Amino acid sequence: MTATPAWPPHSAPRLHVETALGEGVAVAVDGNPAHYLISVMRIKPDDIVLLFDGRSGEWAARARDIRKRDLVLQCVARTRPLEATPDFWLCCAPIRKGRIDLIAEKACELGVARLQPVLTRRAVVDKLNLDRLHAHLVEAAEQCGRTALPDLSPMVKLDALLRDWPDDRWLFFADESGGAPLAETLPGHPGPAGMLIGPEGGFDPDERAAIRAHPRAVALSLGPRILRAETAALAATAAWMTINGDWS
Ligand code: SAM
């Protein structure tokens, strides 16, 4: 007996699109995504591409009208519903280019709902290219199978973040100068959460005092070693996902 081939094929490329998807919706694709499908993946008429728009789940779409630089992808069936993203915000100070890109890519793979850049006094970088970070989030979501993109919020100053922090959300604060052991503390603090990570130079004493004074703040230790900011951001996210997120 011959095996039934998987449908949609496991090898089908995945693409995020801005167009609202639905049965029969045709999406015109050009630019880099078209180059990737036509020249790199060598897509042929009727081949399946998986599409997601961040709102309606994932769709199998058939390729048609393939030309040199553009093609059309037409939705034929929904393959997955929109995922329920764990309610976790990663709030981190901007750090140097390659490292903040790494945080965006990995945070998306790990499952965060929002990436919130936070400007602090010792940050060595005070501007962020949000378009570039968005592109990293999209690429990571395409690769890891997410059906929803993380929100990417504009950078805010630390005092504004603390002022506007929602009453119903824990503000976990990764404090290398001493905090509660993470593995013992997270289980007692379920529900919506954010994790605040400092820049290369850490938080200054006034910032640390202001964070600790916040009614929703819980200072956490990530162990006895001083981690680089990107290591701390990703390790803390993985720990939260394991204990309070959707890894269990
Ligand atoms: N203040 C330090 C210094 O300049 O020597 C290092 C800051 S560390 C590179 C960047 C951020 O990672 C910190 O602000 C903190 O949020 C987080 N972090 C690093 N190691 C940590 C640990 N062991 N426990 C909790 N947070 C940590």
pLDDT higher than 60, residue 1: no
CA–CA distance, 118 with 175 (Å, rounded to integer):
15
**Do 221 and 122 have their domain in common?**
yes
| Domain end residue (candidates: 80, 109, 135) | 80
| Average pLDDT rounded to a whole number, residues 92-106 | 94
**Do 72 and 105 have their domain in common?**
no
| Domain end residue (candidates: 80, 96, 117) | 80
User: How many independent structural domains does the chain possess?
Assistant: 2
CATH of the domain at 37: 2.40.240.20
| Residue 5 falls inside a structural domain | no
Query: How many CB atoms lie under 10 A from the CB of residue 84?
Result: 9
**Do 147 and 66 have their domain in common?**
no
| Average pLDDT rounded to a whole number, residues 166-191 | 96
Give ligand 1 pocket residues (Cβ under 6 A).
Answer: 174-176, 197-198, 200-203, 221-223, 225-229, 232
Q: Is 48 left (phi over 0), alpha (psi -120 to 50) or beta?
A: beta
| Residue 8 falls inside a structural domain | no
CA–CA distance, 38 with 135 (Å, rounded to integer):
20
CA of 147 to the centre of ligand 1 (A): 32
Is the separation of the CB atoms in 99 and 231 below 8 Å?
no
| Residue 105 falls inside a structural domain | yes
CA of 183 to the centre of ligand 1 (A): 17
Residue position matching structure tokens 């769709």: 59
CATH of the domain at 141: 3.40.1280.10
CA–CA distance, 246 with 87 (Å, rounded to integer):
10
| Average pLDDT rounded to a whole number, residues 153-173 | 98
**Do 127 and 71 have their domain in common?**
no
pLDDT digits (tens, 9 = 90+) for 73-90: 999 999 999 999 999 999
Residue of the CA atom closest to atom 7 of ligand 1:
202
| Residue 229 falls inside a structural domain | yes
pLDDT digits (tens, 9 = 90+) for 218-248: 999 999 999 999 999 999 999 999 999 999 7
| Average pLDDT rounded to a whole number, residues 139-163 | 97
**Do 232 and 157 have their domain in common?**
yes
**Do 76 and 191 have their domain in common?**
no
Q: What's the mean per-residue pLDDT of the chain?
A: 95
Q: pLDDT band at residue 107, thresholds of 50, 70 and 90?
A: very high
| Average pLDDT rounded to a whole number, residues 35-42 | 96
Predicted TM-score (pTM) of this structure: 0.94
Which of 171, 227, 237, 240 to mutate for ligand 1's pocket (most ligand atoms within 8 Å of CB)? 227
Residue of the CA atom closest to atom 5 of ligand 1:
201
CA–CA distance, 163 with 218 (Å, rounded to integer):
16
pLDDT higher than 70, residue 2: no
**Do 232 and 144 have their domain in common?**
yes
| Residue 194 falls inside a structural domain | yes
**Do 151 and 239 have their domain in common?**
yes
Predicted pLDDT at 155? 97
Q: pLDDT band at residue 56, thresholds of 50, 70 and 90?
A: very high
| Residue 6 falls inside a structural domain | no
**Do 144 and 226 have their domain in common?**
yes
For residue 233, give its domain range: 88-243
**Do 98 and 179 have their domain in common?**
yes
Cα separation of the two ends of the chain: 38
Strand order in the sheet with 14-16: 14-16, 48-52, 58-64, 71-80, 26-29
Predicted pLDDT at 126? 87
CA–CA distance, 128 with 132 (Å, rounded to integer):
9
The answer for residues whose C-beta is within 8 angstroms of residue 205's C-beta and 6 or more apart is: none
CA–CA distance, 28 with 131 (Å, rounded to integer):
22
CA–CA distance, 50 with 41 (Å, rounded to integer):
13
Q: pLDDT band at residue 3, thresholds of 50, 70 and 90?
A: low
**Do 107 and 222 have their domain in common?**
yes
**Do 163 and 127 have their domain in common?**
yes
